[in-house]
A and B are shown apart, each in its own frame.
Chain A
Amino acid sequence: MSPKRRRTNGAGLSLAGPFVVLFGVFFVYPLCYSVWLAFQQTFGASHARFVGVGNFVALVSDERFGIAVRNSLVYTAASLFVQLPAALGLALLLNRRGLRGRSVYRLILFSPQIFGLVFAAILGQVFFSKEGVINQVLHSGYSTLRGWLGGVGIELEPVAFLEFAWLGNQPLLVMIIASLWMYVGFNMIFFLAALQNVDEQLVESSMIDGAGAWSRFVHVTLPAIVPVGSFVVLLSVIGSMQLFELPYIMLDEQGAGDKGLFIVSYLFEQGFSAGDLGYASAVGWVLGLALIGASLVQRMLAREGAR
């Protein structure tokens, strides 16, 4: 691909040098150090005691870590089985031939991306609070419904929506809804791009052959978007398993307790509140190896698929 290259040690090293130094100090060294840390128990950053695989043994029987893993897995499953199908559905809607205002819809659906996670979490907490917008809308909608049904003789039980603490009682559900708002339009963009790979002629000829909408989707559309799809799935898994800012800020002092505990929240709590950087590193490695494994599997599958 590239023509003859000059051997240019001086220029090469001076151009790549700044990166190499920074990368060595702030990536390679911390990464190696985290291996060492994972086998220590630390109290603050300066007092460490070698515990061998003790941290990992402790993790296996650590109930709270188990809860964090379970919650993270549920959240990730929701990303894969609720959010991504919704994003694909939106992309299909937007991809309708001759749809007017496509770029406006796309822009609006993508717009929550302007919110950083912190600011989205601040807004989300206010929205889901007891007297927040969500409950107010539910309250008002339900009492209107009760009024109508009461008019035709059907009595509904009053429900005290304004007493319901979403953040305290259903933290996982709130996280799933909040991230749906934030990311569905974002994922939609990938699917929209992928849909441009669908062979129009194949679609038309299958229509002539009398294929229904569903079978067209399964046999023509789906195969065309699999490469992008598998990549989006990987991104979702990686992103979802690293969920941190949303619960950390949204569930603060809301009484959710461990119902709102996720893997990175636990890492953060152990490392920076409890001060055991060693245990936090062990948590980091368990998560890291799982995600590195997921990346490698995706790469392998993608390579298989390309053949």
Chain B
Amino acid sequence: MRRWRARGAGSRGVDPGSRAAGMLTHVVLIALSVVTLVPTAWLVLAAFKPEDKFAPQGRDVLSLFIPKDVAGEGEGGQFLGRDWRAFTLKNMAEVFAGGEVEEGAGGFSASGERIEKEVGITTALRNSVFFASVGPLVCTLVSAMAGYALARLRFVGQKWILGAAMAALIVPAPLLFAPTFSLLEKLGLLNTLAGVILPGLASAFGVFLFRQATVQSVPAELIDAAMLDGCGELRSFFAVALPLLRPMVGAFLIVMFLATWNNFITPQIVLQTPELLPLSVMIVQLRGSYGDDYGLLMAGTLVSVLPVALVFVLLQGDFVRGLTAGAVKG
């Protein structure tokens, strides 16, 4: 805070040319920030707008976001000449209740089954939470165990395991779509929760990250000391190493949470029953049944994005670090 103010004070002495450049920088950055935020702002507002308030009023671009107060309509809600009272919680209530799907509006799932009222967004939200918590938790544990073992222990086949995991890093995911589908069919896992979760549990990238983290932040001497105190190898992993690996556990959990929450392809390939679908697949199917009611569609989208936005706001640092580290996966 103090440094910030000092810098501001110092800039007063800078020559006018550089100050003009500084102003220009801000103008450009503000303009780009606005452009970046427009879609998100529209989404948030649209989620609370009734169907009949989506048409623009004349040339007023702002009315695409907030309806203009046409005389006599929004009495009392005229702050800044806008009809603030038009906003409503009706869309939210409707997407959670499953909505009144209009007859003939196309409320059918991919398999031709009618999407029933109760299979609305609530079930999909629950499924998403389930997939995005169970999978990442197990995957993180499995990766941490293997990463630690590969870094600190010696056992048969270690070199092969490490080599295979490192080679796996450069194999692009689409290569595995078809054979994984085929495998799941043979195992009888199509259209099951396990079929969605199991293929994502073996993360070569996670093993790579936790192996690095072990080398960097788990001193071998500490493990040796724990062993001298009578800890077994397994206990020294769980009691000594794992707590030291906590920053990586946090970052990796976030990456996996995001990846699973937003994963579309796996559930789309594996699942058919509407009751099992996560939000990412359900929202695409609901698009058909909501038809042109953008308010409903955006309410559903907002609900789908909100948990991730929450993680973003609460854990910004980890979020950015995790995502940029996660990019290594490609």
Contact = CB atoms under 8 A, between A and B. Distances in A.
B146 A18 contact: yes
3 closest cross-chain pairs (CB), A and B? A116-B262, A12-B155, A11-B233
Nearest to B198: A26
A18 B143 CA distance: 9
Interface of B: 4, 7-8, 10-11, 22, 25-26, 28-29, 32-33, 36-40, 42-43, 55-56, 59-61, 64, 142-143, 145-146, 148-156, 158, 161, 164-165, 168, 170-183, 185-186, 198-199, 201-202, 204, 207, 215, 220-221, 232-234, 237, 258, 261-265, 269, 280-281, 283-284, 287, 294, 297-298, 301, 304-305, 308-309, 312, 316, 320, 323-324, 327, 330
A281 B179 contact: yes
A8 B154 contact: yes
Interface stretch (A133-141, A148-156, A203-211): A133-141
Nearest to A279: B178
Contacts of B202: 19, 22-23, 25-27
Interface string A26-68: 1111110110010000000110000000000000000000000
A185 B61 CA distance: 26
A271 B265 CA distance: 13
Contact of B215 (A1, A46, A122, A277): A1
Nearest to B43: A123
Nearest to A113: B323
B180 A30 contact: yes
A268 B233 CA distance: 45
Contact of A11 (B149, B304, B330): B149
Interface stretch (A164-172, A217-225, A238-246): A238-246
Contact of B28 (A20, A93, A123, A295): A93
B56 A31 contact: no
A129 to B, nearest CB: 9
A16 interface: yes
B198 A22 contact: yes
Nearest to B223: A6
A287 B177 CA distance: 13
Interface of A: 1-3, 5-16, 18-20, 22-23, 25-31, 33-34, 37, 45-46, 90, 93-94, 96, 98-101, 105, 107-119, 122-124, 126-127, 131, 133, 136-137, 140-141, 143-144, 181, 185-186, 189-190, 193, 234-235, 238-239, 241-242, 244-245, 249, 252, 264, 267-268, 271-272, 277-278, 280-281, 284-285, 287-288, 291-292, 295-296
B183 A119 contact: no
Contact of B152 (A5, A13, A107, A185): A5
* Majority-rule SS of B interface residues: helix
Contact of A123 (B60, B146, B301): B301
B165 A23 contact: yes
Contacts of B301: 119, 122-123
B146 A34 contact: no
A131 B54 CA distance: 10
Given A12-B155, A45-B185, A126-B294, 10 more contacts: A30-B180, A30-B182, A37-B178, A93-B29, A100-B4, A116-B258, A118-B283, A271-B177, A284-B176, A284-B177
A128 to B, nearest CB: 11
25 contacts: A6-B153, A15-B146, A18-B145, A19-B146, A19-B207, A23-B202, A27-B176, A27-B202, A34-B179, A93-B29, A98-B7, A98-B8, A111-B37, A116-B280, A118-B284, A122-B297, A123-B43, A137-B64, A140-B56, A181-B36, A181-B39, A186-B327, A244-B174, A277-B178, A284-B176
